[in-house]
Each structure stands twice: as structure tokens, then as C-alpha cells.
Chains A and B, each alone.
Chain A
Amino acid sequence: MDFRRYSYLIAACAILVLAIAIPVEFYFWFVAPTVEPLQSVQVFHPHFYRNPDISLDKIRLKVVYAVPQGKTAWSDWKNILEQALRDNARFHALQFRYTSQIAFDIFPEPVFLKNPAVYYDSNDTNRGNPRGLVAITQELETRLLTSGGDLYSPEFAHKNPNEYTVLGIFYEGVGATGGTIYESDTGSFRKIVERPKLPETVIADVRLKDWNSFFLLNRKFLTDIPYRVYGATLLYHEFGHTLGLPDAYDDHNEILSNDIMGGSRMGPISAAYIDDATLRALGVLPEK
């Protein structure tokens, strides 16, 4: 074998390989632009207003149509209520940038309360009848949501620990209000309202075992003209209080924001929104 002749061929092949490899390496090292990897996408975990310890990833509304003694239930109450709740769920998903979802259960039958309307209704409709909300809620807890109650339903009463559960009262009477229960160590209504300068009528002494968040809405807001235009909006407004959202208007009706907790609560839900500051406090938007 003429090794010398083949050595030329081997050398030629080696040179060819190098001649290809060098420009290729040059290209990939110095010319071809690099592609930065996907940066970690900021994930938002919505939470109770200014309280990251309470997750709002999943919210469940347990809604009851409460009718005081002596009153007649609205015939189409369920459809109207369902539609409003669906509108609310859609609104909520959009405002929370799809990081939080609302599911709802409606108690299948109207619950006829033990007492007539006068027992629950309030003259102070400016405040939305918070005392009525408390009275009805306490009655519902006993009858509907506690084992042994005459209307007890274990499925309806069941609370999933992974969900933030809110009790909604669709009321055949006066009122539109919502809130959450806070423990106060002062023991005096006057001292509680002193700092935020609120009237004592907004505070109620609540004796509930398992339910911390509830809202109430007069049925007429969903059925009667002119209210029904913004009935679903108002429903969410009250529900918003159960997430800790404060009103964005003051006692003189001066609005602090045009969002659903303020100026746009009195308009169609399709035009309502939650403003940036509130969304930041809910953990939906990044801090500035």
C-alpha cells in the first residue's frame, strides 16, 4: 500500500473537515445571535384585600333566596339570580385577570324566614341594612347550615377548605349590603367606629360560628326598573365587600374612584371595572 499517496488523501479530508468546521464554529460562536430563554412569568395569587394569607384563587358563593314571613317569593327568582351570578362570575374572572374563579350554588327553594319583614328590614337604607343582613344570616346558619336545622342540607352547607366561601342572600326585602366579620378586642361599638369616623349603625354584633363573609341584595335590584340596569353590578359591589373591598365613595356621595366600588356601581356591569389600586391590594397586579 502506497501510504504516502493515501496520506495526502487523508490530509486533504482532514483539511476539508477543518475548512468546514472553522466557519461553522465561527458562525455559531460569533455571528449567530443567541436567543434568551423565556423569563419566568410573574404569577399572581389573588388574596383578600390587603391580606395575602387568605387566598382567593377559588371562590364559592352559596346563595339563598330569603323571603320574610308573609311575603310571596318572586316566581322567576332563580333564572334572574342565576343570570346575575353568571354575569358576576364573568366580570370577576376578567377583573382578576383569570387568576380567580367564582363558582356558585343556589339553594334550590326559597327559604321562608321565621319572622316578618319588619323584623329584618331597616329604616337606615343609606347603609344598606347591615343589621338585617346579620339577623338573616344568623337565622340561616341555624336552620340551613348547621346540622339539626329544619332546612339543613349537608351538600349546601359543606365548605371546601380550598375555597373561599361566601354566603349570599337574595332578599325579598330592603337592603344591599355585604361584609366580613372581624374580631374586635375593644368590645365597644363607639371605640370601633371612632378611628374611621363611621356611625355606630354600621357595626353589628354578630354571633356566627362558621360563616365569616356574607352579602345581601334586595330582589328588586334585579327585577325592577330602573334598578335592574345595574342590579348585577350592585350584586358584585356587595360581594366585593366580602373580599374586603371598601366603598369608594364617602358619606356625602363623593366618589373616590369610578370603579365598581365607587362611581360605576350604578351602571351596567359590562361597563364596570375594578381600579388598579384595588387590584394591587388584591394581589392581582404587581406593586408599583
Chain B
Amino acid sequence: MMIVIGIIPIVVAGMLALYSVTYSHRLNVSSLEDGALDQKSKEIQNFISEVADIFKLQVGYEQVSEIEKNSQHFLLTQMFHDMPVLEDVSFVNLAGRETTRHTLDAPNGVAEEFLRDESRLPSFKTAANGNTYFGQVYYTERGPRLTLASPVRNKNGVIISVISGEISLNKIQEILQRPKLGATGYVYVADANGQVLAKSNSKDDFKNVRNMGLVQDTLMGKSFWGPASQRRYESIFGESVVAAATYIPNLQWALVAEWPIADADLILDTLLAQVAAVFLVVMVGAILLSLLLSAQIVEPIQVLEQSAAQVATGNFKKRVVIATHDEIEELGNAFNKMTDGLEQLQQLKNEFVFIAAHELRTPVAAIKGYLSLIKDGTVGHVEGKVLDFINKVMDANERLIRLVDDLLEIARSDAGRLTIEVMPIELLSPIQSVLSELQPLADEKSIKLIYEQMTLPKVLADVGRVKEVVVNLVGNAIKYTIGSGTVTITHELQDQMVVTHIKDTGLGISKEDQEKLFQKFYRVATEQTKNIKGTGLGLFIVKQIIEKMNGKIWVESKEGEGSTFSFSLQIAQV
């Protein structure tokens, strides 16, 4: 119990520690990933904005006419110089026809026959309507690109032509380098089709990730920020990762941060190991301490408990030794004093009973003697009521004599003065002797005494005490048989014992009474037994005698059907 009480707070504390460490770590990971995403998202959007800003051309004149061709070439050359990510740029007139175009392969401008009619392209139409156009990402051998187109306005804001270009997105790969996610965390961009456009730490992962739950949802406009939105899954790039994502709306891209769990949780694993180690040490310590305390506190209490149980059965010699140097030791000392006192009281009681019974014996014997003389007519004829009164006094005196004898017997037994001379004896003859003695009593009540004799080995017993036992048991059998009946005595051999059974057809004894039958002064109190005389000490004395001869005594009985008292005596080994 002490162990459990000691352990429970430790277990609860351990669970709380596990939870808080894990949750705290999750917050940290989320914070780092969100920080990386935020930084990279801003960098990407800044890059695109810078490029888009360069495309926002406004001329300084008011005419609604195209820029002069030489100026177009000049401007395009300047743009190529200012923006290394530009790979192809052209001016397109409002009819949709390219008027000049510069490319990486033709930095001074392509030939006339290579100029295109873009009037049906969405890039031209959007820009001609006054909006900046961002195309879908496409992939060339030179890297990913997208189309950007923007209106060219005059001083008054009127659209005079369109400028359209192809922007290299190789810069995105550079932006995504070094995302600061541990040693192995990475970030990648997926285009609107789920194609990986760029990925930190690698240039070769040209995979389509649209099917992955996180990317799919992100491309629909959701973002996965914060610890609650963090996802853990087996990544298409081959590791279990913890991931977060954000949507870049104007480009319809998903920016995903994935941090391999083995790297992300490295510190967590270390912390958990430390928590587990501390927890284990504290747990073992708590258990050992509980055991120690248990030995110190609980064991002495158990010793006291057991000793008290023994004292309750009458064993006043029991003493306890408790050396805990605390209140429990004092309790133990008090217990020993108590049992000392009880033992003294018992001794005094036994002495008193012995002396009282011994002193009473003489007067009651004298009373008996004188009553007999009176009844015999020694002092004159006695008859009628006087005789009747004398008979009643004699009966009462007989009972007193028997009580005194029984008390004396018990007192001797308690004082250890009960003399029993155990020697090998024959059982048959003492039993036959008792039966002859009690025959008249049985005849009075029309009770048959049956003795089923058999050849028996000698037993170790005191012949006088055996007679006393048989007298008591057969006497009880006769006493407690109302009307006619039988008392049967049989023997059987069990192990190294001779068992004698005395069975009657009398009143029988209830289960509750059977348990107390051999206690001092106990008498069965029923309507049928209230008129049967007795001291309540006979069976107690019989039990003492049998046990002192190393035997046992017991009873089997059923109310209304009679009883069988049995006792065993050791076979004498010759």
C-alpha cells in the first residue's frame, strides 16, 4: 500500500513530464518550420515582385503611340542587363504583334521573321486589359520558367503596348537553400500542377507531389501553420517527416517545409531518454524506500497484531520484541506489560479457583455426610416433607460436589498439576468397566448401551483418565437422549491412532453450539436442554485430558438425530 501511495505521484509526474516535453518540442519544431516557410515565402514573393516591378513600364510622353523601335531595343537591352533572370522579352503592339524581341541567344534582337503574333495568347490579352499576367510554370532544359506580361503606359496611364517576357525561376532554387531546419530539413515549391519546381539541397527531385494530402490541400488555398496543423507522414522523398506548408496565392504555388523526424526529434529523443532515466531512478528509489519504511512501520504492527491474536486465545506468555526506537517500540513495551499483567491475573485466578475449590471440598463433603446420616434416620425417623426437603438438599449438594471437583480438576490443569501417567494400556477393559457402572443409569431411561468390541492394539494413555473421559462422554450421551434410544461405542484404526466413537440417538447439537462445545462453562441452551443439569466444564476437562495424552477429540452431530463424539489415542509401539 505504501509503495502504491509512493509510486502514484511519481507516475503522474512522469506522465506530465512526457506530455509537456513532447508538446513543448512540437511547439519549437512548428515555430522553426513556420519561420523557415515565412522567410522563404517572403523571399520568393519579393523576387517575383521585383521582376514584376521591372515590367511596369511607364513612358514620359503623353502620346498614345508605341515606343520608338530603337528605344525599345535600348530598353530591352537595359532590362536584360538589370535582370539576369530574364531570358526572353518582347514588346507587343496593341494588335498583338511583337515589334521587338530580345533573347539570351539573340541579345541584340531576333530577326523580323521570328517575331510572333501573340494576339490570341492569354498573356497578351490580360496585359492589354491593364493587368499583370503570371503564367503557369513550364520546364525547359535551362530550368523552370514562367511568362510574365504587363501593360506599358504613357504618362497619363493609357496603355500603349504590352511587354512580355520569360522569367527563369532558377533563382527559386537558390532562395530555398539553407532553410535552417536542423541538419537535414528542406523546403520545396510545388507548382499549380503539383510538380516540384525547386527543392533545397537537391536539384534532381523532379517529382509530382500533388497527390500528397498536404500539397493537395495547400494548392486549394489552405495553409498549415502552427503545431495543430503540423503533419507527420512518410514523404515521397523517402523519409518520415514533420511538415508545414503555405500557399503563395498570386503564383498558385505550394511552399512546403519537411523536416525528417529523425533529425527534428533528435533533441526530443535525448530529453525523453533523460526524463525516462530520472523517472526510473526515482521510481526504484521510491520502491526501495517504501519497502524500508514498510519494514520499519508495518512489520512491527503485524507482530503486535499476531501477538494480540494469541493473547486473545489465552496465551498470556506471548511477548513481542520491537526495537524501532519510536512510538511503535513503546507500544510494544506497553503490550508486554499488559500481557505480564494478564498472566499474573490468570495465575491469581487459577490459584483462587484452586484454593476455593479445595476449601469448599471439605464442607460440601461434610454436608453430604450429615445429610446421609439424617436421611438414614440416625437422628430420628425422617419422612414426608422433611424427607423430600432433605433429598432436594442432597441433590443440590451433589451438584455442588461435582462443580467443586470439576473446578479443582481445571485448576490443577491450568496450574500444570494435572497428573496423567501415560503408558501402554488396553482400551477394552476400562470402557467395559465404565459401561457396567453406567448401565443402571441407562436402564432407568430405557437406553441401550451397545459396545462393538474388536481386537485393538494397546494405546498410550492413563487408564484412570480414559475412564473419566468415557464416563463423561457416555454419561452425556445418556443425559441428552430423551426417552429410549441407543448409545453405541465403536473403534477404528486411523494411521497410528485408535479412534473411539460414542454415538447416541439423542437431541443432537447445532453447528453453532458445536463450535463452542469444548469451552469452559459452555452449555447448550435449548428448550429441551434447560432442565438437564451440568456444570458446563465436563467437555472442557475431557478435551484437556485427551490433548495431554497426545490425542484429539471432536464431534459430529445433527439436531434431532443425535451426536457422535470421537477421540483418538496413540497406538503404543512395542
Q: Is the CB of A37 within 8 A of B283?
A: no
B220 in the interface (beta carbon within 8 A):
no
A38 touches B11 (CB 8 A): no
Name the B residues within 8 Å of A286 (CB-CB): 193-194, 208, 210
Q: Which stretch in A13-21, A121-129, A183-191, A216-224 binds the other chain?
A: A13-21
Residue A180 is within 8 A (CB to CB) of chain B in the complex: no
Q: Are B195 and A8 in contact (CB under 8 A)?
A: no
Residues of chain B within 8 A (CB-CB) of A37 are 233-234
Could you tell me if B210 and A35 are in contact, using CB atoms closer than 8 angstroms?
A: no
Q: Would you call B7 an interface residue if the criterion is a C-beta within 8 Å of the partner chain's C-beta atoms? A: yes
Stretch at the interface among B15-23, B376-384, B552-560: B15-23
Supposing A19-B7, A276-B138 touch, asked if A35 and B236 sit within 8 A by C-beta, the answer is no
Are A271 and B213 in touch, CB under 8 angstroms? no
- Taken together as a complex, chains A and B put the C-alpha atoms of A53 and B206 apart, in Å, by 26
Number of A-B contacts (CB under 8 A): 144
> Which of B115-123, B398-406, B442-450, B486-494 lies at the binding interface?
B115-123
Tell me if B233 and A271 are in contact (CB < 8 A): no
Of the candidates B96, B147, B208, B294, the one whose C-beta lies within 8 Å of that of A8 is: B294
- List of B residues within 8 angstroms of A34 by Cβ: 232
CB <8 Å contact, A11 and B194: no
Which B residues lie within 8 Å of A20 (CB)?
A: 280, 283
Other-chain contact of B208, A12, A44, A252 (Cβ < 8 Å): A44
Q: Are B105 and A23 in contact (CB under 8 A)?
A: no
Q: Quick check: is A254 within 8 A (CB to CB) of the other chain?
A: yes
Q: A271 touching B103 by the CB < 8 A rule?
A: yes
A23 B18 Cβ-Cβ under 8 A: yes
Check if B283 sits within 8 Å of A16, measured CB to CB. Answer: yes
* Closest beta carbon of chain A to B163's beta carbon, Å: 15
Minimum CB–CB distance for B272 against chain A, Å: 8
Tell me the residues in window 262-308 of chain B with beta carbons closer than 8 Å to chain A beta carbons.
Answer: 279-280, 283-284, 287, 290-291, 294
Contact pick for B121, options A19, A98, A257, A276, CB 8 Å:
A257
Does B532 count as interface, using CB distance less than 8 angstroms? Answer: no
Instruction: Give the size of the chain B interface in residues (CB under 8 angstroms).
Output: 62
Given contacts A12-B3, A286-B194, contact A254 B120 (CB under 8 A): yes
Q: Is A263 an interface residue (CB 8 A)?
A: yes
CB within 8 A of A270: which of B142, B208, B211, B287? B142
Nearest chain B CB to A232 CB, angstrom units: 11
Nearest Cβ distance between residue B370 and chain A, in whole angstroms?
Answer: 65
In residues 114-165 of chain B, which contact A (Cβ within 8 Å)?
Answer: 114, 116-121, 136, 138-142, 145, 147
| Contact A253:B117 (CB < 8 A) given known A22-B11, A286-B193 | yes
* Cβ A36 vs Cβ B213 within 8 A: yes
How big is chain A's contact interface, by range? 35 or more
User: Residue B26 at the A interface, CB < 8 A?
Assistant: yes
Q: Mark A253-288, 1 if CB is under 8 A from B, else 0.
A: 111111100010011111111111000000001100
Q: Which of A11, A23, A270, A273 has the most CB of B within 10 A?
A: A23
Instruction: Assess whether B111 is in contact with A256, with CB atoms less than 8 Å apart.
Output: no
- Please indicate the chain A residues that have their CB under 8 angstroms from the CB of B211 in the complex: 39-42
Q: What's the nearest-Cβ distance from chain B to residue A51, in Å?
A: 21
B535 part of interface (Cβ distance < 8 Å): no
Interface pair B15/A90, CB less than 8 Å apart: no
Interface bits A51-73 vs B (CB < 8 Å: 1, else 0): 00000000000000000000000
In the complex the two chains form, what is the Cα distance from A190 to B364 in whole Å?
Answer: 158
Cα distance A38–B18 in the bound complex, in angstroms: 28
Does A119 count as interface, using CB distance less than 8 angstroms?
Answer: no
Whether the Cβ atoms of B105 and A229 lie closer than 8 Å is yes
Minimum CB–CB distance from A163 to chain B (whole Å) comes to 24
Which residue in A98, A267, A269 is a CB contact (below 8 Å) of B206?
A98
- Chain B residues 209 to 253 lying within 8 A of chain A, measured CB to CB, are 210-213, 231-236, 240, 242
Partner-binding segment picked from A25-33, A108-116, A145-153, A204-212: A25-33
A41 & B236 in contact (Cβ 8 Å cutoff): yes
Knowing A263-B118, A285-B193, say if A276 contacts B136 (CB, 8 Å): yes
Contact in complex: A23, B15 (CB < 8 Å): yes
A161 within 8 A of B: no
B140 touches A270 (CB 8 A): yes
Cα-based distance from A253 to B117 in the complex (angstroms) = 7
Residues in A neighbouring B10, C-beta threshold 8 A = 19
Min CB distance A13 to B, Å, is 9
Give the chain A neighbours of B104 by CB distance below 8 A: 271
Residue A97 CB within 8 A of the other chain: yes
A3 to chain B, nearest CB (A): 14
Q: Given contacts A37-B233, A97-B208, are A31 and B120 in contact (CB under 8 A)? A: no
Give Cα A276–Cα B213 distance, bound, in whole angstroms. Answer: 22
A215 interfacial contact with B, CB 8 Å: no
* B14, B195, B240 — most chain A CB neighbours (10 Å): B14
Q: What's the nearest-Cβ distance from chain A to residue B9, in Å?
A: 11
**Which residue on A lies nearest to B272, using beta carbons?**
A27
* Assembled-state Cα–Cα distance A90/B140 (Å): 10
- What is the distance, in angstroms, from A25's C-beta to the closest C-beta of chain B? 10
How many Å lie between the Cα of A272 and that of B166 in the bound state?
11
A103 surroundings in chain B (CB, below 8 A): none
7 extra A-B contacts, CB within 8 A, seeds A42-B208, A267-B114, A286-B193: A23-B15, A26-B18, A27-B15, A32-B22, A34-B232, A41-B208, A275-B138
B interface vs A, CB < 8 Å?
A: 3-4, 7, 10-11, 14-15, 18-19, 22-23, 26, 87-88, 96, 103-105, 111, 114, 116-121, 136, 138-142, 145, 147, 166, 193-195, 206-208, 210-213, 231-236, 240, 242, 261, 279-280, 283-284, 287, 290-291, 294
Residues of A in contact with B (beta carbons under 8 Å apart)? 8, 11-12, 15-16, 19-20, 22-23, 26-27, 30-42, 44, 90-91, 94-95, 97-98, 226, 229, 250, 252-259, 263, 266-276, 285-286
Chosen A-B contacts, 14 in total, with CB atoms closer than 8 Å, are A23-B18, A26-B18, A35-B232, A41-B208, A42-B211, A229-B105, A253-B116, A256-B121, A258-B116, A269-B141, A271-B105, A271-B166, A285-B208, A286-B194
Q: Which 9 A-B pairs have the closest CB atoms?
A: A36-B233, A38-B234, A42-B211, A273-B138, A270-B141, A254-B117, A23-B14, A35-B232, A23-B15
